[in-house]
Amino acid sequence: MTATLPGIEVRNPVDGTVVGTVANQAPEVVADTARALRRHQPAWEALGPDGRATWLRRYRDWLLDNAERIADVVAAESGKPRAEAVVEVPAICEVLNYYADNAATFLADERVKPSGVLSLAKKLTLVRQPYQLVGVITPWNFPVITPGFDVVPALLAGAAVLLKPSEVTPLSALEMARGWREIGAPEVFAVVTGAGDTGQALVDNVDYVQFTGSTRTGQRVAHRAVDRMIPYSLELGGKDPAIVLADADLDRAVPGIAWGALFNAGQACVSVERVYVEAPIYDEFVARLTEVVGKLRQGADAGGFTVDVGAMTTEAQRDIVVRHVDDALTRGAKATVGGKPTGPGLFLEPTVLIDVDHSMSCMREETFGPTIPVVKVADAAEAVRLANDSAYGLSATVWTRDIARGVQIARRLEAGAVNINDAAANLFATTLPHGGWKSSGTGARLGGAHGLRKYTRAKAITVPRVSALKREPLWFPYTARRIRFVQKAFQFIAAHDVRRWVRL
């Protein structure tokens, strides 16, 4: 008999009010849900890419028709401003349109050319078949975008999908599942809610895991997936550097870095968390950045787009940011603006820190909050060295008027993506992969055809071009004459040297 677990309250970080309660589903419930999804997956796969795309386009229409309601839910459970909540649905709809339009091409069988004479006698075909059940585990910072970026391509690939959102922001995912039901789509997408045990049960019941979240939890997911011999993809933490060269256009670099560091209150894996500025413009950059950050509007958003920076989503995350700021100030850093918790609610003032160095936690650990530590560097070489001095490598930015030089620097940075004169732009380039280096993860999402094919298994099929032979030369029984002939033939084929051919 399944145990009844206490429900989980979902609170608004702005004022602490309860906005919903969800079930803390036991492992047995997760297993039952997984079995149900598996029963429906073969028929879903049989629809083919075009048939599945038809359902996904209906789903897109439902999402757009209900976008304002979903934005209400996103804002209420995450504490983000309305301006940031309303972009989540359109963002996943763009991904949906791209993959729906291209699914048939990306998943089509491929005729493969022979590699040489040894395979010349065969017709070679590469086919792709979906994993039956894909598990997606997502964090609380982007409650619609993050699951959407993975659920949509997995469904289009032909898999059934089981989504486990963060227990902090599960209501948005439940809205996504409600939409799938309301359009009458096949029962191949479901959401389970709960804490860590629910996520563990998901990993134990699927054929492929896509995890987005902290490095520590991602490592546990990877270990369990390896134990089960199932593939996985991880997008983990970040400590993204920004390099500001002396020739940078500060009219763009300053607001760009301010937004790149502080959108979603800095609670983004691709947030700018370290800024390295060449000495000749350092003072001007800091003065301008302090002015921009000091004018940002923070507080409760009544829906009128009057707030720039919202609340921290969890008390635990706010406490981490406070610890980083306090550690920096204790070690000699200065806050040119901000630096204090404020409230009511889980707010922390947008903060600019100067006189920081790599001995401080705000420069080495993932902060995931509204802080901008700024370091003066002598030149680009020092900036690159410090930018690469991190356990993380998700993304980075370079700010310069010399685009060619910016690209050269980008090639030297140890990160999965580098944006020139922009922040987070790669997230919305569906044709580019989004993945991290080092402790920022393994594998990637999106990336054109890769984003769909990652949820499929490749299968090689060989067919004889002619059927004249009753027995292949290497089949039993072996004879000295036949094996010597085959040996000489193989050597002749492999040799790319006239002298060897003559000897043979």
Q: Which residues are identified as catalytic?
A: 235
Listed residue (387, 376, 370) closest to 242, CA to CA: 387
Distance (Å, whole) CA 106 – CA 203: 27
Q: List phi, psi (to 5°) of 359.
A: -80, -10
Beta carbons of 70 and 107 less than 8 angstroms apart: no
Q: Retrieve residue 414's tokens.
A: 């140890």
HEC profile for 22-59? ECCCCHHHHHHHHHHHHHHHHHHHHCHHHHHHHHHHHH
Q: List phi, psi (to 5°) of 418.
A: -135, 130
Please give the single-letter amino acid code of residue 57. R
Long-range interactions of 466-470: CB distance < 8 A, separation 24+: 466/121
Please report where in the chains the tokens 């010349």 appear, as a residue.
120
Q: Retrieve residue 235's tokens.
A: 């997008």
Distance (Å, whole) CA 121 – CA 124: 9
DSSP 7: P
Handedness of CA 89, 92, 98, 101 (dihedral sign): negative
Listed residue (410, 446, 413) closest to 431, CA to CA: 446
Spatial CB neighbours of 285, under 8 Å, sequence gap ≥ 6: 244, 250, 253, 254, 277, 374
Beta carbons of 445 and 451 less than 8 angstroms apart: yes
234-243 per-residue burial string, b: 16 or more CB within 10 A, e: under 16: bbbbbbbbbb
Write the CA distances from 75 to 264, 311, 342, 398, integer angstroms: 11, 10, 19, 31
Please report where in the chains the tokens 């038809």 appear, as a residue.
54
Distance (Å, whole) CA 179 – CA 173: 10
Handedness of CA 417, 423, 428, 429 (dihedral sign): negative
Please report where in the chains the tokens 């370091």 appear, as a residue.
375
Antiparallel, parallel or unpaired: β 232-235 and 208-212: parallel
Radius of gyration of the chain (CA): 27
Beta carbons of 136 and 147 less than 8 angstroms apart: yes
